Amino acid sequence: MAVLTCLVLALTGVGAVENSAPKVGIEAISKVVGKYEKAEFAIDLEKHYDNPFDPEEVLLDLMIKTPSGEKVVVPAFYCQNYERRKMGQGRGRANWYYPAGDGRWKARFAPTEKGVYSATARLKDNNGVGQSNTVRFECIGSENRGFLGAGGKDRRFFEFSDGEPFFVIGQNLAFIGSGQYVNLTKAEEIFRTFAGKGGNFLRIWTCCQDWALAVEARKSAWDRSWHRRNELVVPMPASESGSNQRKCILINGADGASVEVSPSHPVGLRPGQRYVLSGRFMAEGTNGLKVQLTSGSPPPVFAAAKKGSWQEFRHEFTAGGNSFWLGRLMLSLAGPGKVWIDNISLKEAGGGAELLWEADVNRSVRGYYNQLDCFILDKIIESAEQNGIYLMLCLLTRDLYMNSLSRVGSPEYQQAIDDACKFMRYAVARWGYSTSVAAWEYFNEMDPGKPVDKFYSEVGEYLDSIDIYNHLRTTSTWHPSAKDCRHDKIDIGQLHHYMRSGTDEEFKNEVAVLIEKTRFLREHAARKPALIGEFGLATEKWGLSDHMKQDSEGIHFHNSLWASAFVGGSGTAMFWWWDELDRQNAYDHYHPLARFLQGISFAGLASIKADVSADQVLILGYSDSEYAVFWLWDRRATWWSQVVEKNVPALLADIAVDLRGVKNGSYSVQWWDTRKGEVCREDRISAKAGRLLIAAPSFSRDIACRLRPAN
C-alpha cells in the first residue's frame, strides 16, 4: 500500500537530506507542558503543495527524543485556523467562523514522562528529505490520568494509563452543526451540564455529510445530500474525457434562470472588509451572467464573450458595518440560453483564504478534510478535555466507502484502504494527542454483510505503526456483527439496538433487552471492552417514539442506565435521542448512578451468584469472595407497564438476597436510593458457611447495594 510505504520510509530515515529539499522551520509553541497534555509545534515549509493532505505528495513528521532516550515519530498535519465569535443569532448563526491567516503546518504531541524532550520536523516530498532545527520543551507533572485502554487486570473493562478504572456513563451527541439542534455553543453547554451530572463519555460523529460535522464528505454550495441536483454539475465543455475530466456548473433555461450558491456552512464576512467574488463563464445564446449578492441591490451583469470562449468576471464589494455573513448569492442568465461557470471564488480583496470552498465541484471528496469542520472538532475536543469527558469519534463517512468494500482484491477495495489510512493519519496527527479521545470508530453502521475483515486488518496495522498512544478502535454495523466483535484489530465490541413498537422484537421490557444484547457482546467480545453504542425507544421505522415523549419521568432511561451498568458491558447503554434527552433535561438520571459507581471497579469480578426471596425481583451485579455490587429491580416496573399501562409499582417489603461464595466474616452493606443517589440505609452483617443473607429495605421499583468487608 502506497501510504504505508511512505510511512516506512519516514520511520526508517531512508534518503539523505538534499539541498533541493524545501527548508523546514519549527517552533515549540509551549516550552513547558504537563504530562499527557498537549505540546504543540508550528512548522514552516517554504513550498506550497497541491494537496497537503496527501502523504504521498508531502510527508511531514515530528521526530521526538524522550527524556529516557526513546525515539518516537508522530505525524504532522496541515490546517487552516479560524477565528470564532459567539453571535447568539439562532442555531444557524450562533457561531461566526472566519479564516485566521493562511493555512499552515502543525504537530501535536502528548508527553508521557517527565523531563526534557527534543523535537525535529522531518519532511519528505518529491524533492527529497528536509529537516528542521531542533527545539526543546519540558514535561512536568499533571493530574491527567493518561489514555484509555483495555484494563491490564481485566480486559473487559477500561482503565487509564495510570491503572485507574473507568466505567462509561454516556450517550450519543452525534450531530453537531450550524443547522442542528446542537451547534458548537450548545454542545459546549451540554458538555458542562452532562459532566456536572456525572456523565463521562460521548459518541460524536465526524461523518455527517452536509447536515452536520463531517471531516471527509461532499459539502457543496450547489445542492445537498438529500436533494442532489445532478443537472447542475456537468463535464467541462470541450474538455478531455475520462474519470479525471474537470466539471463545472451549468445554468440552462429562460431569461432569469438562476441557481443559488448556498454552502452548507454559513459564510462569515468581516464587517467593513473589501471582498472579491470572481470566476469565469462561457455563454451560449444568452447575453451574459448576472451576479446578485443581496436582494435589493442591482446585480452586476457580465457580458458574454464570443461563442466557445471563456469570460472572466470579478465583482468587488465591501461588507456593511454590521454584516457578518454573506447574503443570498444568486447567479442567473441575462437572456435565454446556457452558461457554464467555473472557478467560483470569494476572497478578501488583498487575497487570503478561500471563503467559498464549497463551490469547488472539482474538489476530491475522499482525501480532502474540511478545515472548518476540523476546527470545530478541535473545539469539541477542547471542551471534552475541560469537562473530563471522553469521546468515541465516529470518523469515516460510510457512504463514501461502503460500495468500494464489496469485493476483496479489487482496485476499489485497495483504494478504500489507502484513503482510510490517509484519513486516519490525519486524525492521529491532529487529535491523537488528546487523552479525551477514547476511541476511533471507523464507521457508523456499516453493512454487516460486506467483506471488511481485510479493511480492518490493514487499517488497524497502519494505526499500530503511527498511533503511538494506542487509541482503542471500534466500528458498528446496522445489525449485530459477531465477526467484527471478534476481529483482532477491533478493540471494542459494539452493537446498536432500538426498542421498536410494532415489531416482533421485545420492546416492552428494556431490562430483558439489555440482558440479551449484552449476552451477544460477551459471547463474541469475551475479552474486550464492549458497548451498546446506540440505544433507545423508536418507531417501527426507526424514528423518535412518541412513547419517549410521553415518558416525561424518564422511566425507560433510568431502568436502561442501571440495568446496563450491571449486565456485563463496559458502560451504560448509550442513548441516541440526545435532543429529546436535552429537552427533558434528563441528565439528572446520570447523577445517582455516577455517585453509586464512584470508586468501584468491576475488574476481576464475576456475575453475581445470588438468589432473591421474591421471584418478581431481578438481581444484576458483580461479586467475588469479598465484594458485591448489585441492583434489585421489580420486574413489573418496566417502562411499558408504567408509561403505557399506567400501573404504579407497589412497595416491596421483606426482600432478602442470599449471596453465595463469600468468605466468612463481617461485612458492611450500603443500600442506595437510585433516584437520589444517596445511601438510604447501612447495615453490618456476618457471613457463615460461605453465605450471606442480606435483608433489603422496603423499596419501590429498584434499589442498589454495595457490600465490602467491614473495617
What span, in angstroms and rounded, lies between the C-alpha atoms of 92 and 180? 8
Q: Among residues 149, 156, 161, 36, which one has the least CA distance to residue 601?
A: 156
Give the per-residue pLDDT at 9: 38
Q: Are 683 and 669 in contact (CB under 8 A)?
A: yes
Return the SS3 of 511. helix
Q: Which residues pair with 578 in a beta bridge?
A: none
Burial of 246 (0-12, 13-18, 19+ CB in 10 A): exposed
Residue 79 reports pLDDT greater than 50: yes
319 C-beta neighbours (distance < 10 Å), count: 19
Give the per-residue pLDDT at 502: 86
273 C-beta neighbours (distance < 10 Å), count: 15
Give the per-residue pLDDT at 6: 40
Residue 274 reports pLDDT greater than 70: yes
Q: What is the pLDDT of residues 562-588, one digit of tens each?
A: 999 999 999 999 999 999 999 999 999
Q: Which residues pair with 258 in a beta bridge?
A: 332
One-letter identity of residue 8: V
Per DSSP bridges, beta strands 390-396 and 201-205 are parallel
Tell me what percent of the chain is helix, strand and coil, each rounded to the nearest 5.
20, 35, 45
DSSP state for residue 650 in the 8-state scheme: P
User: DSSP assignment of 260-274, as one string?
Assistant: EE--SSPPB--TT-E
What span, in angstroms and rounded, lies between the C-alpha atoms of 595 and 221? 48
Q: What is the pLDDT of residues 86-105, one digit of tens each?
A: 997 677 789 999 999 999 99
CA angle, 267 as apex, 262 and 272 as ends, to 5°?
130
Predicted confidence band at 243 (pLDDT cuts at 50, 70, 90)?
low
Q: Among residues 516, 515, 459, which one has the least CA distance to residue 484?
A: 459
Residue 15 reports pLDDT greater than 60: no
> CB neighbours of 64 closer than 8 A, spacing ≥ 6?
71, 72, 73, 74, 109, 117, 118, 119
Q: Among residues 392, 378, 380, 383, which one has the least CA distance to residue 166?
A: 392
Give the per-residue pLDDT at 88: 75
For the residues 420-440, what does the mean pLDDT come to? 98
Predicted confidence band at 2 (pLDDT cuts at 50, 70, 90)?
very low
Phi, psi of 501 (to 5 degrees): -70, 155
For the residues 347-362, what does the mean pLDDT come to? 96
Residue 614 reports pLDDT greater than 80: yes
Give the per-residue pLDDT at 213: 97
pTM for the full model? 0.96
Q: Which domains does the chain have, with CATH numbers?
A: 2-140 (2.60.40.2550), 148-216+366-600 (3.20.20.80), 233-359 (2.60.120.260), 611-709 (2.60.40.1180)
Q: Are 135 and 41 in contact (CB under 8 A)?
A: yes
Q: Are 186 and 194 in contact (CB under 8 A)?
A: no
Burial of 71 (0-12, 13-18, 19+ CB in 10 A): exposed
Give the per-residue pLDDT at 299: 78
What span, in angstroms and rounded, lies between the C-alpha atoms of 124 and 15? 9
Residue 13 reports pLDDT greater than 50: no
Cell matching residue 164: 485507574
Predicted confidence band at 684 (pLDDT cuts at 50, 70, 90)?
very high
Q: What is the pLDDT of residues 276-291, one digit of tens each?
A: 999 999 999 999 999 9
**Whole-number percent of the chain with pLDDT over 90:** 90
Burial of 659 (0-12, 13-18, 19+ CB in 10 A): buried
**What sign has the CA pseudo-torsion 572, 573, 577, 580?**
negative
Predicted confidence band at 16 (pLDDT cuts at 50, 70, 90)?
very low
What span, in angstroms and rounded, lies between the C-alpha atoms of 617 and 272? 69
Cell matching residue 665: 466474616
Q: Among residues 673, 677, 587, which one has the least CA distance to residue 197?
A: 587
Give the per-residue pLDDT at 19: 53
Residue 521 reports pLDDT greater than 50: yes
**Whole-number percent of the chain with pLDDT over 70:** 95
Return the SS3 of 382. helix
Give the per-residue pLDDT at 707: 97
Q: Which residues pair with 58 in a beta bridge?
A: 125
* Average per-residue pLDDT for the chain: 94
Radius of gyration, CA atoms only, the chain? 29
> CB neighbours of 262 closer than 8 A, spacing ≥ 6?
221, 222, 329
Give the per-residue pLDDT at 358: 97
Residue 27 reports pLDDT greater than 90: yes
Q: What is the pLDDT of residues 172-209, one digit of tens each?
A: 999 999 989 999 999 999 999 999 999 999 999 999 99
User: DSSP assignment of 387-426, as one string?
Assistant: HT-EEEEEEE-HHHHGGGGSSTTSHHHHHHHHHHHHHHHH
Q: What is the pLDDT of residues 479-490, one digit of tens each?
A: 999 999 999 999
Q: Which residues pair with 32 in a beta bridge?
A: 138
Q: What is the pLDDT of residues 658-672, one digit of tens each?
A: 999 999 999 999 999
Cell matching residue 322: 454590521
Whole-angstrom CA distances from 515 to 200, 203, 445, 507 are: 23, 22, 22, 13
Residue 53 reports pLDDT greater than 70: yes
